[in-house]
Amino acid sequence: MSGRVLLVLPLFLAMAGLWLVMPRGRARRGLAKLAWRVLLRGFRVRVVVHGAPLPEAGTLYVSNHITWVDIPVLGLVLDAAFVAKGEIAGWPVIGKLTAAYGCLFVERERRGKAADQAAALASHLEAERGIVLFPEGTTGLGTTVLPFRSSLFAMVPRSVDGGVADGSAQVQPVTIRYRRPDGAPLSPEVQRKVAWIDDDELLPNAAGLSRIGPIMAEVWFETPVAATDRKALARACEALVAARVAA
């Protein structure tokens, strides 16, 4: 781990601890953004945003997924909850922080809970915050997009095989790309160090990332997609994100 990151992590954790006890409001949101910014600067990740997000209330943001860094990157530009794997809730420290942040923990392999999980998503989308969904179901290298799982879109309120009713959720695809500071693609070696995939452990991956030098995280807010049936919705979102990654 680089010395820069070792200096930043205690500050980030101190801010996270303070954030946990603060009442909800603008000050709490401001502290969260500051903590994400401090963490990203420690790893020398600069965020560049293209396009504009839809208003967060009632919006489902559908993003590709490359690394754990995607979370602070999107957390910096959106005040949205994340759909996360159920086992993360049991992780020390991280589980408590993510739960307090409003993450929705889903057990994607347990179809019997699909209705309850859909109801939880609906209640969040009807409140003041949006939700970020990573429909690849896992992380990828980032040079291509893995197939978007249409089953995950079954959790989108009013998105069913027979169509949707008026007032359905707003859906906006989001593309994340990691580049060199000048905007050029990363080398295959550096791209692999950025990605957190397969059996990579978090701390070794973070240590490697801290030593590769400055990088740029591009966030593209794509054209919103109508929330039709789940399979068509998955295909439409995947096509937009895949086209951006290929470009």
pLDDT tens digits for 138-158?
889 999 999 998 877 766 655
CA distance linking residue 44 with residue 5, whole number of Å = 9
What's the rounded mean pLDDT across residues 35-63?
Answer: 92
* pTM metric for this prediction: 0.87
Instruction: Examine the pLDDT at 134 and tell me if it is beyond 60.
Output: yes
pLDDT at 229: 82
What strand order describes the sheet that includes 170-179?
Answer: 45-50, 215-221, 170-179, 59-63, 130-133, 80-85, 104-106
- Residue indicated by tokens 């593309």: 175
- Per-residue pLDDT band at 5 (split at 50, 70, 90): confident
pLDDT at 243: 97
pLDDT at 237: 96
What's the rounded mean pLDDT across residues 55-67?
Answer: 89
pLDDT at 10: 92
What's the Rg (C-alpha) of the chain?
18
- Per-residue pLDDT band at 2 (split at 50, 70, 90): confident
Q: What is the pLDDT of residues 90-117, one digit of tens each?
A: 766 667 777 777 777 766 555 555 556 6
Instruction: Examine the pLDDT at 246 and tell me if it is beyond 90.
Output: yes
Q: Which residue has the higher pLDDT, 44 or 118?
A: 44
CA distance linking residue 70 with residue 217, whole number of Å = 9
User: Do the bridges between strand 80-85 and strand 130-133 make them parallel or antiparallel, or are there none, so unpaired?
Assistant: parallel
- Per-residue pLDDT band at 202 (split at 50, 70, 90): confident
CA distance linking residue 10 with residue 153, whole number of Å = 38
Lowest mean pLDDT, pick from 17-26, 69-78, 231-240: 17-26
pLDDT at 117: 60
Lowest mean pLDDT, pick from 144-148, 162-166, 171-175, 232-236: 162-166
Residues 220/240, Cβ–Cβ less than 8 Å: no
From 212, 124, 227, select the one nearest 172 (Cα to Cα).
227
**Residue 175 CB neighbour total at 10 angstroms:** 22
Q: What is the pLDDT of residues 213-235, one digit of tens each?
A: 899 999 999 999 987 788 899 99
Please, what is the average pLDDT of the chain?
84
